[in-house]
Structure 1
């Protein structure tokens, strides 16, 4: 049972200034939501596209589910301009190239205990030991120690100019000591009743549903909704139908094929940092040959994908980073060192993808046609994401179609390059191991100045594209279905947030 909570003795609820949105002006930070409604507001019914695949582990893909549902928080978050801003850390300062001092705000965990420096240090310590490693810590070694009554010193083995951005990752959420009680004996870390967000995870029903109740002692003010009833519906048409029939109030990732069927104003389109790409297996199979990788790239018409599959709700792929990252414009270099294309002559390849994002199987079908026209013999394999990702990471496909938000894991563009395209990367679907790429990414990781870091990131992107390990297909705009009576949904280009204190119906 939870300890007795202190009710906040305020007549109106905390209202913080709204942050302007990125590009579309629609992104609002979680604690920037208006929350001046009734304390006994209606529960929200939410349909999410991706079911939990790791028993709501706070370290992998499920960490984003917890963040989007307003359950977990870290020390920092990304603001509308992609910079780090305060959450559980009220402020921070750089002490040296390897050491940062974070000052904590007053806050409580959902089990009634206080957010203390010791609790934060323990949470980050557990994150460093997670297996597999949480994406934000790929290639990074850090230690955290409590300092006094309200500070935490975080030290990295190597200088990490992007540490405040890194700590915004959903995979580095801070949980109470109770969450880790079973971790030492091989049990899982549990976010149930141990997080700090405005909503508390109280019940899960396998991979189909979850129940969340409002956390009344949330430091950012009382949420207007009394709770959330979440359903995990992988089929995009079924999610959209649930919104149309009022079975849910919010449906994420509405398929473009269903957008026209929504009531006027119910489909909210958001430019995102998500790029759909074809990752080519550079380690084994047909695409170990750079000439065949070049042939595949030349055979693909990305404009047709944006126009026909995404029905104009996407932009043709230009690089790993898309137009939602406005700073990338004008910095993109020409890929160098590409091999000449070889004739496929009937080379057999298998392309894998998942159906949680309903456009992906259709993208794969169009790619199959384009690649067959170029001379490849193509087989497709489509499964639910949690049942295919492991095989993709193990290099069991010749190619893999996936959608990746480049700002999701750390908020640092360099980190996603290190994770996805270096020899030691933890999410290297292309199985790429190239000395020139590793050197370019390492140079970018060492850049402290923001502008120089961005320049170096784009130079590393050019080096990666030069290997033809990845073919950027489209830069997506996400459509969120929102019921007519619902207000305060967070339309986040980074896709880390969805509901918050001001979300209500």
Structure 2
């Protein structure tokens, strides 16, 4: 086999040398994407973000770059006066990739399957989902204002009935998007082609591919060598490597994602708000943002970034760095240096283990920086670099001490959904752990139910003030999304909500 491939390559080279007039340059019609995330499953509840970003699956509701809700597969939606019934009217003449037509019954079946699985729809008090003519009808047990935002999440993408086996498992991803899958090889890659019967504007390119390349330096090298056309999420070294190249463009866009520390408040070292404030004071955010991320403006002064205007408050006292004050606060709580300099109280060391993962290449580096900075105030922080799944697993079984991650508050276009999941009663896998605030729970409930903008704004303000004061999670930096591509690839737009790679708008310069 190897000999035959070498012979074929030799023959091709000979043809190029001996008969150049017969070699015709063809316009490029394909785009290769490289990102850090594996394609581990066909199930939209777990890997739907990849299928959504690649333009394969679509949702009833879409969102523009500002987070405003816009029509998706539903051309319009409305709620009853009591807020208990929502109607989503479908677009006409929409086809799935298998040639079958979309109707309310099929959309309802897809959503009911999503509802039966762990995922975003479990956050809403849904009584039932039914079909009525061209409408998908969702009945609620109590008002839930952000329901349309949930219907924009990847886990609610509408798939054809043939996507599912009789037992409900996903056997194919047959969506309605501008691209359909032609090949998938979990966990590394998938390939798509333009869907000629797409209901919207057809894609400009004919095919595209996705490859999981977990190491940031590998993605940078792939762009430099021409092995990929769109590399998503670069580390500072990769940005420095690619920025000077004449034929490569590096795009940097702030997005509603925050790098933060999740704390298990059941641990005696973390149970007191004063101790958490001390740990926050012992983080040099500006140094991390400038030295590791390469963006000094990314230092987080509060949890929610400025890109989330309704959730970012200029009136909050900003988080700052003060190692002396941090030491004083811990001393007030009875923590005293032991023989090795590590703080002790009641015979227990101030020792914790931090879990993080390398899919976002900056996280292990930030973990090492926090480890060093906390050591300066007498805190022994061990760092464990593993899989991202280790964090929710540690939340569920109670084994987690501290976690470092990048939380996407644009997972749905309305951040209230994520906030309720993270800071509601019982906390969440990617939010608070063993922190219960009746004040916050009440404010979240009000924000979820009300359609009055002033009342909602008051509730949101109450949430962000409490989170800033009590620090159930400690913000470190606001995320900057980075994408590199050849300058010849035109139409690249970095989606701040990370919903799409924008493949259908891409084209190669002639």
Q: TM-score by structure 1 length? A: 0.84
Take 1:457 and 1:306, find their aligned partners in 2: how far apart are those partners? Answer: 27
Matched-pair contact (CA < 8 Å) for 2:275–2:330: yes
**3-state SS, counterpart of residue 474 of structure 1:** strand
1:334–1:142 distance in 2 versus 1, CA, 3 Å:
farther
Query: What residue in structure 1 maps to residue 329 of structure 2?
Result: 341
Take 1:220 and 1:298, find their aligned partners in 2: how far apart are those partners? Answer: 51
- 2:37 is equivalent to residue 57 of structure 1: no
Matched-pair contact (CA < 8 Å) for 1:256–1:479: no
Query: What residue in structure 2 maps to residue 6 of structure 1?
Result: none
Match of 2:110 among 123, 134, 141: 123
**3-state SS, counterpart of residue 374 of structure 1:** coil
Instruction: Deviation per CA, 1:28-81: give whole Å up to 9, x if none.
Output: xxxxxxxxxxxx96221110111124x132013x12111111111100111233
Structure 2 residue runs of 5 or longer lacking an equivalent are 1-26, 319-325, 336-342, 344-348
Take 1:495 and 1:370, find their aligned partners in 2: how far apart are those partners? Answer: 32
Matched-pair contact (CA < 8 Å) for 1:331–1:455: no
Match of 1:210 among 190, 196, 200: 190
Take 1:152 and 1:51, find their aligned partners in 2: how far apart are those partners? Answer: 32
- 2:69 is equivalent to residue 100 of structure 1: no
**3-state SS, counterpart of residue 266 of structure 1:** strand
1:182–1:48 distance in 2 versus 1, CA, 3 Å:
farther
Take 2:268 and 2:191, find their aligned partners in 1: how far apart are those partners? Answer: 45
Match of 1:414 among 405, 416, 422: 416
**3-state SS, counterpart of residue 124 of structure 1:** helix
**3-state SS, counterpart of residue 217 of structure 1:** coil
**3-state SS, counterpart of residue 95 of structure 2:** coil
Take 2:86 and 2:316, find their aligned partners in 1: how far apart are those partners? Answer: 33
Take 1:469 and 1:426, find their aligned partners in 2: how far apart are those partners? Answer: 11
Larger mean CA deviation between 239-248 and 43-52 belongs to 43-52
Matched-pair contact (CA < 8 Å) for 2:61–2:71: yes
Query: What residue in structure 2 maps to residue 155 of structure 1?
Result: 139
1:426–1:295 distance in 2 versus 1, CA, 3 Å:
closer
Take 1:503 and 1:178, find their aligned partners in 2: how far apart are those partners? Answer: 30
Residue correspondence of structure 1 range 17-96 to structure 2 within 5 A: 42-53=29-40, 55-60=41-46, 62-96=47-81
How big is the shift at 1:412? 1.3
Query: What residue in structure 2 maps to residue 491 of structure 1?
Result: 494
Matched-pair contact (CA < 8 Å) for 2:431–2:473: no
Matched-pair contact (CA < 8 Å) for 1:108–1:115: yes
Instruction: Deviation per CA, 1:379-408: give whole Å up to 9, x if none.
Output: 000123245553355442211110011011
- 2:120 is equivalent to residue 135 of structure 1: yes
How many equivalent pairs are there?
454
1:332–1:321 distance in 2 versus 1, CA, 3 Å:
farther
Query: What residue in structure 1 maps to residue 386 of structure 2?
Result: 383
**3-state SS, counterpart of residue 304 of structure 2:** coil
Take 1:285 and 1:134, find their aligned partners in 2: how far apart are those partners? Answer: 32
Take 2:392 and 2:492, find their aligned partners in 1: how far apart are those partners? Answer: 29
Structure 1 residue runs of 5 or longer lacking an equivalent are 1-39
How big is the shift at 1:333? 4.3
- 2:287 is equivalent to residue 304 of structure 1: yes
1:302–1:247 distance in 2 versus 1, CA, 3 Å:
same
Take 2:461 and 2:363, find their aligned partners in 1: how far apart are those partners? Answer: 26
Query: What residue in structure 2 maps to residue 189 of structure 1?
Result: 170
Instruction: Deviation per CA, 1:118-151: give whole Å up to 9, x if none.
Output: 0111111111110xx2135325325221112x22
1:56–1:424 distance in 2 versus 1, CA, 3 Å:
farther
**3-state SS, counterpart of residue 433 of structure 1:** coil
Matched-pair contact (CA < 8 Å) for 2:126–2:138: no
Match of 2:468 among 465, 468, 471: 465
Write out the 4+ residue segments of structure 1 that deviate beyond 6 Å after TM superposition: none
How big is the shift at 1:232? 0.2
Query: What residue in structure 1 maps to residue 5 of structure 2?
Result: none
Matched-pair contact (CA < 8 Å) for 2:32–2:230: yes
Name the Cα RMSD after superposition.
Answer: 2.3
1:329–1:385 distance in 2 versus 1, CA, 3 Å:
closer
Matched-pair contact (CA < 8 Å) for 2:124–2:144: no
* Structure richer in helix, relative to its length: 2
- 2:271 is equivalent to residue 293 of structure 1: no
For the pair shown, the structure with the greater C-alpha radius of gyration is: 2
How big is the shift at 1:330? 4.4
Match of 1:222 among 202, 213, 226: 202
Matched-pair contact (CA < 8 Å) for 1:407–1:413: yes
Matched-pair contact (CA < 8 Å) for 1:202–1:213: yes
1:428–1:275 distance in 2 versus 1, CA, 3 Å:
closer
**3-state SS, counterpart of residue 341 of structure 1:** helix
